[in-house]
Amino acid sequence: MSPRRVSAGSDAVGRQELPLRITVDGEPVDGIAGQTIAGVMLAADRLAWRQGRSGAPRGVFCGIGVCFDCLVTVGEDRDVRACRRRARDGDVVTTQSRRDAGSPEVEPHAGELPGTED
């Protein structure tokens, strides 16, 4: 049992562990019905699945859909927040990066606003 999940035998709500499988970048990843895409990926020890403009690895930051650090493509839907979307058996997930969207290669330095350089 993973430390991230409550076992079915001790779950007061009575949930059942119904397995599901998604594909992430062509690789099968197993999860449990009810988990978000981010939850399935985290339980499979995938801590980062996106790159920022600087190339730094990104994954879940806030976990509640506010920060947009966990964006993935699900099927044909781009920019899906993995922390908000429940995984469905058979989902095809593709990781993405800021570079995919044609953004600049380098992020501004901390405290520097884009377009305000000297």
pTM above 0.85, yes or no: no
- Would you give per-residue pLDDT tens digits along the chain (118 residues)? 455 566 666 767 766 789 999 999 999 999 999 999 999 999 999 998 887 788 888 889 999 989 888 999 999 999 999 999 999 999 999 998 765 555 444 444 444 444 444 4
Can you say how many angstroms the Cα of residue 8 is from the centroid of all Cα atoms in its chain? Answer: 25
Q: Give the pLDDT score at 97.
A: 72
Could you tell me if 64 and 118 are in contact, meaning their C-beta atoms sit under 8 angstroms apart? no
Measured CA angle at 97 (ends 32, 64), to 5 deg: 45
